[in-house]
Amino acid sequence: MINSIYPWQNKAWDGLRSKRERMPHALLIHGTQGIGKLRLAERFVQSLLCESLEARGEPCGECAGCRWFGAGSHPDFRWVEPEALARPSAPGGDADEPAAVRATKPSLEIKVDQIRALDDFLNLKSHRAGARVALIHPAEAMNPNAANALLKALEEPPGRAQFILVSHRPARLPATIRSRCVAVPIPLPDAGASLAWLESQGTNEAASWLAFASGSPLLALRYASEAGATLARRRQALEAGDSDALGAVNDREQLEELAEVLQRHALDMAFATYCGRAKYGSSAGSPDGGAWLRYARLMGRNRALARHPLNPRLFAAEMLAAMPGK
């Protein structure tokens, strides 16, 4: 049995539950990263496969369908995720292949073969006389060939086949795919509810991290726990103008982290100039808001480039040299 939904998701759950009455063949669950969309989608998929639903459309957690789903082995369900995100228990995955023997680094894309593999699965008769469900996450990770293959399946869906797409950035999906899905927007949680939850998780400086995460509680929790120490040091170095400490990176993950910190600082400098207040927690403004907006766009591009095989220290030095006022 998977975990229950987050406290702020009750209204979103009611909206999803209402879809069951006239269930479309494809849903697009979308919203800001870090608000629990995937857990909500998992819970909904479990409810579709549950054989003894409870009140409010909640899965019972006890039937064969729920037990199989909780174990990651339901015969009528398939995960589709990039290799880099795939969980060992995902049906049809490579759980038995030791990580050490893989010749290449796991892909960040959803590949066309992963989508084509759904054809045989979705066209088979259901094992439990119900729906056959595919969950694709994050949907925008599909490369162009994979997106085209999915479009064919969405145009002529097999009977009782249901697609659940989860996306952080639905605008990156082809319009043809979006038009064939029923969109389910998931709003950003109320700040008070997010802060209460973060504090219940023992998060220090919850308000500061929630601001840095643009109001996304799960992202704020990750920043405060996993990456909090290094992020905090970079933010302190940025405020102190310590370029040496700020540019000390050793790998691509740290490079992407640096680009993110610089991008949000640049946006705060522009926001403070044009709106009178920062959004992400930086303490200063600048008379040249336009230059900081251009720098923020540059850092956005650099965040994507950071995953490519670059020299981290040289690229960090280039980013810092491009900062307005240098």
Q: Are residue 181 and residue 42 in the same domain, yes or no?
A: yes
Range of the domain at 255: 227-321
pLDDT at 242 (0 to 100): 87
Q: Provide the pLDDT confidence category of residue 96 given band limits of 50, 70 and 90.
A: very low
Cα→Cα distances 23→15, 18, 161, 170, Å: 12, 9, 11, 21
Quick check: is 306 in a domain? yes
Average pLDDT over residues 55-73: 90
Q: Is the pLDDT of residue 81 over 90?
A: yes
pLDDT digits (tens, 9 = 90+) for 145-164: 999 999 999 999 888 899 99
Domain boundary among 133, 159, 185: 185
Same domain, residue pair 24 and 140 = yes
Let me know whether 166 and 234 are in one domain: no
Q: Kindly tell me if the per-residue pLDDT of 102 is higher than 70.
A: no
What gap in Å lies between CA 155 and CA 199, rounded to an integer? 46
In a domain, residue 203? The reply is no
For residues 237-249, give the mean pLDDT.
Answer: 85
Which phi and psi angles does 74 have, rounded to 5°?
A: -70, 130
Question: Residue 191 domain-assigned?
Answer: no
pLDDT at residue 94 above 70? no
In a domain, residue 190? The reply is no
Say yes or no: 155 and 277 in one domain. no
Is residue 202's pLDDT more than 50? yes
What pLDDT is attached to residue 97? 38
What phi and psi, each to the nearest 5 degrees, are found at residue 182? -85, 115
| Residues contacting residue 161 through CB under 8 Å, at least 6 positions apart | 25, 122, 123, 131, 132, 133, 134, 153
Q: Are residues 236 and 180 in the same domain?
A: no
> Are 111 and 168 part of one and the same domain?
yes
Q: Are residues 139 and 12 in the same domain?
A: yes
pLDDT for position 228? 63
Mean pLDDT of 270-277: 85
List the 77-80 sheet strands across, edge first: 77-80, 132-136, 161-167, 26-30, 182-185
Domain-located, residue 150: yes
- Is residue 231 over pLDDT 50? yes
The count of structural domains within the chain is 2
pLDDT tens profile 115-147:
999 988 988 877 777 789 999 999 999 999 999
Q: What is the pLDDT of residue 206?
A: 92
> So what's the pLDDT on residue 249?
86
Q: Are 143 and 109 in contact (CB under 8 A)?
A: yes
Strands 161-167 and 132-136: parallel
More confident residue, 70 or 230: 70
Residue at 158 is within a domain: yes
- In a domain, residue 2? The reply is no
Question: 157 and 247 share a domain?
Answer: no
Does the pTM exceed 0.85? Answer: no
Phi then psi for residue 108, to 5 deg, are: -95, 0
Do 31 and 177 lie in a common domain? yes
39 pLDDT more than 90 = yes
Same domain, 50 and 130: yes
Same domain, residue pair 174 and 235: no
Which is more confidently placed, 125 or 206? 206
3 pLDDT band, cuts 50/70/90, is low
Average model confidence (pLDDT) across the chain: 87
Among 144-153, 199-208, 220-229, where is mean pLDDT lowest? Answer: 220-229
Residue 27 resides in a domain: yes
Tell me which of 100 and 44 has the higher pLDDT.
44
